[in-house]
Chain A
Amino acid sequence: GESVGLHLPTLSVQEGDNSIINCAYSNSASDYFIWYKQESGKGPQFIIDIRSNMDKRQGQRVTVLLNKTVKHLSLQIAATQPGDSAVYFCAEKWDANRDDKIIFGKGTRLHILP
């Protein structure tokens, strides 16, 4: 079915450490994956994306890893800062969709410890 799941609902990380947020997806037909960050009172904000023909993509302080064999996605945030506190969603899309809909997971809350 259409579902994107997450392993951990809450993750606490020391400021300055690296954060790793994991996500399992169920649709093997998914072609495209996105990580969103949602701060309190705001809409989801695009962080980084990856196509299914790639296994790694890097951005500024963030890296997304894709393992299609086990249908697993992860977001790595380097040197976590207080401003990284938010809920992070992995999301997926597939080309067979006539529309452009994004299927979101339930989210992981990232809590930064001082």
Chain B
Amino acid sequence: ETGVTQSPTHLIKTRGQQVTLRCSSQSGHNTVSWYQQALGQGPQFIFQYYREEENGRGNFPPRFSGLQFPNYSSELNVNALELDDSALYLCASSLWGGSITDTQYFGPGTRLTVL
């Protein structure tokens, strides 16, 4: 196990609702990245947080937002849910060392279903 935990495990929402997903990073890690994985696809980068600041964003609309807390845990918020938001949401933590080889450790994910 990676030591990265996510909650909840599963979640069902209806279109138009808002959702908050949570991630606790591995001890000692200061960076959290969020990915969306649609069924049968590879994960897609949503954004990354380093020391409580957004450190990069993928091609996702502004209704996807996030936070990182002083203890380096993180939240992903999605407003105005759409059916296409149904996916596995993965959190990955890492220790930012400025190297391209900094390893990201993934949590088990939160399965979001939008009806």
Task: Give residues in A with beta carbon < 8 Å to B.
Answer: 4, 31-32, 36, 41-46, 49, 51, 89, 91, 93-95, 97-107
With A97-B56, A98-B56, A101-B56: A49-B42 Cβ-Cβ less than 8 Å: no
Q: How far is the CB of B58 from chain A (nearest CB, A)?
A: 7
Residue B66 at the chain A interface, CB threshold 8 Å: no
With A41-B108, A45-B106: A32-B45 Cβ-Cβ less than 8 Å: no
Q: Are B108 and A102 in contact (CB under 8 A)?
A: no
Residue B33 at the chain A interface, CB threshold 8 Å: yes
Docked Cα-Cα span, A46 to B45, in Å, equals 16
With A42-B108, A44-B106, A51-B101: A101-B33 Cβ-Cβ less than 8 Å: yes
Q: Are A95 and B106 in contact (CB under 8 A)?
A: no
Q: Are B105 and A102 in contact (CB under 8 A)?
A: no
Docked Cα-Cα span, A27 to B70, in Å, equals 36
With A43-B107, A44-B106: A100-B33 Cβ-Cβ less than 8 Å: yes
